[in-house]
């Protein structure tokens, strides 16, 4: 595996079974993915599409039915890989009877940090997520937004190289969402790799470098966000100073008349449009990777 | 105190205890490996399944041997913090309330108040602590799984072994603290609850010798004390004014007379002889029949409880205890011999009068035997005999073993001749290298003394009662460790309530462990399960053999397989009652060191096994769902 591939899934399949071993649901079907160092990778999909299952498989919280997940080149069940990982679960599953300081101190101890380092990291992270005023309060008294913040702080306690964020903006107010997105972008600036899953399309669109769209446990689309959203068969021209007459035949006249060509390129649709298109296509042709129109992507 | 099973010396126990542990752990490992591989093969196919089993085993080596103490301690701290949040303190308050109102139901006029107090505090503590730990240990992990708080823990570099050990350790730390507090409070409760004093009823005092005048002073007096805590004492005061409030309810008081101006005042001290930890030195018991032949057991008087064997009165039959380590350093200047005899009367006689018996001391090497003391038995209580170092015997002779023509060994009485002395030294004449034999004979014809090995013992220097009290709590501590071990182990793969039930099931099963082993070894009537079933269906009795034939052969073959399985299952159950040493403390006996060591190691063996099993269950389960 090349050095810059942080996560690799090979033919990853997960089937949930009941107590008697009967198949209940096939949550993930032969997923092949690679996440590279330093990128923000988004897993996108409707509810039940297998996003969280993928993250849990990467973390070793679930075992694959078949296939393999490698994280930093090690098997996902190898706990030593967690030294370099930070994880923010879907809801911040933290011990409500601890205060913010105690929480961070506890998770710091799980990384065998010295007392001095724990104190330092705790204070840095509490400042980073803006909980200075509430650091002594028990988490049970926290609002949902505050819980997300302390959740993020615990995910960063070990200064991880890879951060997995499960629905990071859920429960945050617009201001909180903006801060969270900025923090994610800052993490990339620091050279960290981020994998996030979300069904909030605007979040993914704003911060992700690459995305994978899952539907019903299958990978439907994978690529760079800017490239995926580009509509290649349409050209957009922004022009100024053209006469009424020449506007009738813009394309020929701009050059001939010497008008100023301000911008020329491909328009983009929104991620929301792309997402809905893929879902519609998947429902029309179940079990098939989305085939985009010639030149569409 | 009844000790039905003899406690092995620690060295002897070490020879087989760890061996059984290894055997059971080995069987468990083989069975675990087999079933684990089987499940993996069914799930993933032969190659992938076996590879997965191999991976789990390889990971186990690292997980079990490379744990980080800092992480384990962090997880233990979390368990403690979590438990405190669950208002563990309430249990402590319940305990205090119980003690506060204990006066309502603890009868101070009981014959053995110490037994009552000790069994009350130990029972209250053990019920409260064990129930609490059952709830905490069985519900904690399932709760973390349900609330998904475990997700943020297992996604840190935490090994499953550290999670299991952290939980166990956390609860043990919590329980130990709780027990330490409870034991300190209980100790104060017992000591203060039993503390009392009496006054001497001066009007009752009379001279022991009716010819003397009590008012003249300087004569031995007898009388009685005031009634306190439901009892009064007989008072005896010597001519110097020193004396005792005699033994009642397992205790006595010292009393001293002094003059306060015109008035004579008797100062009575606090109860003594009650808060004790006797250190009994047990001997090996063997029997002589009525002709003084060596016999395997005494007479069977038809008692269903075969604990005691009987010595026929008015004959040469005797119970013989062989002691070791009887030296002046261990026993100072006299030998205190205590016994609790069962008496079987074939005629009622004078029921107020005890049955007469005699104690002989014999040097096992020289055969020198002296009649040290003739006594009247006291039933249902401990009979104390102090034998001075210099013994002036009522009779002295030699008892020498000889072989009968039929090959049986018989002890024959021989005169001492020139070796006879008027007085014998206990240590110089009657012991040899610390070895001494005590012979007990019943003198009344047609009456019987019932004896078991622990019924007669030499009392060495007492141990500290406070320390013995702590040992009583150590017994509860071991039971607590077992409950925590089972609770945490089951909670790694079962839901909370089911884990709790399973733990309770194991403990109840543990009470029947002895019977299960008897069944497994074929020591019960009626055969194994299948054979018993046939007997039930055919209404056959349990004693006669089944008719020979294919049916019986098949039944007995199946039974022998089932019995082996039963043996293994029985070994997996903790004999929970064995860890209870409340009766030692309550009866005023020191809990022996080998008891502590053997039980402690057994509990540790269980804890280690439960930890390993718990680890494998947690390792092979998916934390998320």
**SS3 per residue for A280-294:** HHHHHCCCCCCCCCC
CA distance B523 to A242: 111
Cβ under 8 Å to A: B residues 114-173: 147-159
Give the C-alpha separation, B270 to B253, whole Å: 6
Sequence-ordered alpha helix ranges (H) in chain A: 51-59, 100-110, 115-128, 144-155, 174-189, 201-207, 225-229, 250-257, 271-284
From the CB of residue B105, how many other CB atoms can be counted at a distance below 10 Å?
A: 9
* Residue B359 to residue B338: CA distance in whole angstroms: 11
- Asked if B623 lies within 8 A of A95 by C-beta distance, the reply is no
Give the pLDDT of residue B555.
Answer: 92
**Residue A33, beta-bridge partner list:** A9
Angstrom distance (rounded) from CA B372 to CA B390: 10
Is the model more confident about A229 or about A107? A107
A93 to B154: CB separation less than 8 angstroms, yes or no: no
Residue B47 at interface with chain A, using a CB cutoff of 8 Å: no
**Both tokens assigned to B199:** 């006054």
Instruction: Calculate what percentage of chain A has a pLDDT beyond 70.
Output: 83
Interface pTM, i.e. ipTM: 0.83
Tokens 């085993």 correspond to what residue?
A: B57
Report chain B residues whose CB lies below 8 A from the CB of A81: 157
pLDDT for the residue A295: 42
C-beta of residue B490 within 8 angstroms of C-beta of residue B610? no
Question: For residue B153, what are its two tokens?
Answer: 């823990």
Check pLDDT > 80 for residue B140. Answer: yes
- Identify all chain A residues contacting B149, using CB atoms and an 8 Å cutoff: 93-95
| Interface-testing mutation among A15, A109, A118, with chain B (most B C-beta atoms within 10 A) | A109
**Greater model confidence, B63 or A92:** B63
- Chain B nearest C-alpha distance from A213 (Å): 22
Question: Do the Cβ atoms of B624 and A56 come within 8 Å?
Answer: yes
Whole-number Å distance between alpha carbons of A171 and A124: 23
| Nearest alpha carbon to residue A108 among A91, A93, A97, A123 | A123
DSSP letters, B195-245, are: -----B-GGG-EESSTTS-GGGSSS-EEEEBPPBTTB--EEEE-TTSEEEE
Q: Which residues of B378-389 are buried (b: 16+ CB within 10 A; e: fewer)?
A: eeeebbeeebeb
* Shortest CA gap A104–chain B (Å): 12
Q: Is A202 buried (19+), middle (13-18) or exposed (0-12) by CB count in 10 A? A: middle
The region, left, alpha or beta by phi > 0 then psi within -120 to 50, assigned to residue A109 is alpha
Q: Indicate whether A235 pLDDT > 60.
A: yes
Residue A246 pLDDT exceeds 50: yes
Residue A245: predicted pLDDT:
65
- pLDDT over 60 at A297, yes or no: no
Chains A & B: contacts with CB separation below 8 Å: 79
- Say which DSSP state B432 is in: B
pLDDT score at B322:
95
Which residue, chain included where needed, has tokens 């104690």?
Answer: B359
Q: What is the percentage of chain B residues whose pLDDT exceeds 70? A: 99
Chain A partners of B624 at a C-beta cutoff of 8 Å? 56, 61-62
* CB nearest B71 (choices: A66, A92, A112): A112
Q: Which residues of B touch A21 (CB under 8 A)?
A: 42-43
Span B459-486, average pLDDT: 94
Residues from chain A that touch B59, judged by Cβ atoms under 8 A, are 77-78
Question: Which residues of chain A are within 8 Å of residue B55 when distances are taken between CB atoms?
Answer: 75, 77
Using alpha carbons, select from B615, B607, B622 the residue that is nearest to residue B62: B615
Question: Are A62 and B154 within 8 A, CB to CB?
Answer: no
pLDDT tens sequence across A19-58 = 777 888 888 999 999 999 999 999 988 888 899 899 999 9
Task: Say yes or no for a CB contact (<8 Å) between B152 and A107.
Answer: yes
Decide if B624 and A61 are in contact by the 8 Å CB cutoff. Answer: yes
- In sign, the C-alpha dihedral spanning A96, A100, A102, A104 is positive
B624 close to A (CB below 8 A): yes
Q: Give the residue among B470, B479, B471 at the shortest CA–CA distance from B602.
A: B479
Residue with tokens 């669109």: A205
Nearest residue on chain B to A103, alpha-carbon basis: B78
State whether residue B70 sits within 8 Å of chain A by CB.
yes
Nearest CA in chain A to B163: A110
Q: Pick B158's closest partner by Cβ from A56, A85, A110.
A: A110
């Amino acid at each position: 595996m090349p050095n810059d591939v942080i996560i690799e899934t090979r033919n990853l399949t997960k089937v949930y079974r009941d107590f008697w071993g009967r198949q209940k649901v096939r949550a993930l079907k032969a997923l092949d993915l690679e996440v590279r160092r330093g990128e923000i990778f988004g897993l996108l999909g409707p509810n039940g599409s297998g996003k969280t299952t993928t993250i849990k498989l990467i973390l070793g919280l679930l075992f694959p039915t078949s296939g393999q997940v490698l994280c930093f080149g090690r098997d996902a069940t190898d706990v030593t890989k967690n030294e370099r990982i930070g994880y923010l679960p879907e809801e911040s599953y933290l011990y409500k009877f601890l205060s913010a300081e105690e929480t961070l101190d506890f998770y710091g101890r799980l990384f065998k940090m010295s007392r001095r380092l724990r104190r330092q990291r705790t204070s840095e992270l509490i400042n980073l997520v803006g909980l200075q005023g509430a650091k002594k309060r028990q988490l049970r008294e926290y609002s949902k937004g505050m819980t997300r913040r302390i959740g993020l702080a615990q995910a960063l306690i070990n200064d991880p190289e890879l951060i997995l964020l499960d629905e990071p903006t859920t429960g945050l107010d617009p201001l909180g969402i903006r801060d969270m997105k900025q923090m994610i972008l800052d993490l990339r600036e620091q050279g960290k790799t981020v994998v996030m899953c979300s069904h909030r399309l605007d979040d993914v669109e704003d911060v992700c470098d690459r995305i994978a769209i899952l539907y019903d446990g299958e990978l439907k689309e994978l690529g760079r966000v800017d490239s995926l959203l580009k509509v290649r068969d349409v050209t957009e021209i922004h022009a100024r100073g053209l006469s009424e007459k020449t506007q009738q035949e813009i394309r020929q006249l701009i050059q001939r008349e010497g008008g100023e060509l301000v911008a020329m390129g491909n328009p983009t649709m929104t991620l929301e449009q792309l997402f809905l298109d893929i879902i519609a296509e998947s429902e029309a042709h179940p079990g098939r990777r989305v085939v985009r129109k010639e030149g569409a992507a | 105190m009844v000790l039905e099973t003899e406690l092995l010396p620690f060295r002897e126990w070490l020879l087989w205890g760890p061996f059984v542990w290894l055997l059971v752990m080995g069987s468990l490992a083989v069975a675990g490996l087999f079933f684990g591989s089987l499940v993996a093969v069914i799930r993933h196919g032969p190659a992938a399944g076996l590879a997965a089993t191999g991976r789990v085993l390889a990971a186990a080596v690292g997980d079990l041997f490379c744990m980080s103490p800092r992480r384990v301690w962090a997880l233990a701290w979390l368990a403690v913090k979590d438990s405190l949040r669950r208002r563990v303190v309430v249990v402590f308050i319940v305990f205090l309330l119980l003690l506060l109102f204990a006066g309502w139901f603890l009868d101070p006029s009981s014959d053995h108040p110490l037994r009552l107090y000790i069994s009350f505090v130990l029972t209250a503590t053990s019920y409260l602590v064990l129930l609490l730990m059952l709830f905490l240990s069985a519900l904690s992990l399932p709760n973390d799984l349900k609330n998904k708080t475990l997700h943020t823990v297992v996604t840190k570099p935490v090994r499953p072994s550290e999670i299991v050990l952290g939980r166990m350790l956390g609860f043990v730390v919590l329980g130990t603290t709780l027990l330490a507090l409870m034991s300190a409070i209980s100790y104060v409760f017992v000591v203060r609850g039993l503390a009392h004093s009496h006054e001497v009823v001066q009007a009752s005092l009379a001279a022991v010798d009716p010819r003397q005048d009590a008012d003249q002073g300087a004569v031995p007096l007898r009388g009685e004390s005031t009634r306190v805590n439901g009892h009064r004492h007989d008072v005896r005061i010597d001519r110097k004014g020193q004396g005792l409030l005699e033994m009642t309810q397992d205790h006595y008081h010292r009393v001293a007379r002094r003059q306060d101006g015109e008035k004579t005042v008797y100062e009575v001290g606090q109860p003594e002889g009650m808060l004790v930890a006797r250190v009994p030195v047990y001997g090996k018991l063997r029997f002589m029949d009525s002709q003084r032949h060596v016999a395997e057991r005494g007479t069977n008087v038809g008692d269903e409880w075969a604990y005691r064997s009987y010595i026929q009165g008015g004959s040469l039959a005797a119970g013989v205890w062989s002691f070791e380590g009887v030296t002046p350093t261990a026993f100072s200047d006299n030998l205190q011999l205590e016994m609790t005899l069962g008496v079987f009367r074939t005629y009622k006689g004078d029921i107020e009068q005890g049955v007469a018996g005699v104690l002989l001391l014999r040097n096992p090497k020289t055969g020198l035997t002296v009649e040290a003391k003739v006594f009247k038995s006291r039933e249902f209580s401990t009979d104390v005999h102090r034998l001075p170092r210099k013994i002036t015997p009522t009779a002295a002779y030699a008892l020498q073993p000889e072989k009968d023509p039929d090959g049986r060994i018989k002890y024959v009485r021989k005169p001492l001749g020139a070796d006879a002395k008027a007085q014998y030294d206990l240590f110089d004449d009657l012991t040899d290298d610390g070895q001494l034999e005590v012979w007990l004979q019943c003198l009344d014809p047609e009456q019987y003394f019932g004896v078991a090995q622990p019924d007669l013992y030499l009392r060495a220097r007492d141990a500290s009662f406070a320390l013995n009290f702590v040992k009583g709590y150590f017994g509860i501590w071991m039971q607590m460790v077992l409950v925590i071990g089972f609770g945490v182990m089951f909670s790694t793969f079962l839901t909370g309530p089911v884990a709790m039930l399973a733990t309770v099931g194991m403990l109840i099963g543990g009470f029947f462990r002895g019977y299960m082993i008897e069944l497994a070894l074929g020591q019960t009537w009626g055969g194994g399960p299948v054979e018993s079933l046939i007997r039930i269906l055919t209404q056959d009795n349990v004693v006669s053999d089944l008719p020979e034939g294919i049916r019986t052969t098949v039944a007995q073959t199946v039974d022998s397989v089932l019995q082996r399985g039963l043996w293994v299952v029985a070994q997996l159950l903790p004999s929970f009652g064995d860890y209870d040493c409340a009766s030692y403390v309550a009866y005023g006996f020191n809990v022996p060191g080998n008891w502590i060591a053997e039980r402690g190691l057994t509990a540790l063996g269980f804890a280690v096994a439960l930890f390993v099993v718990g680890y494998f269950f947690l390792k092979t389960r998916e934390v998320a769902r």
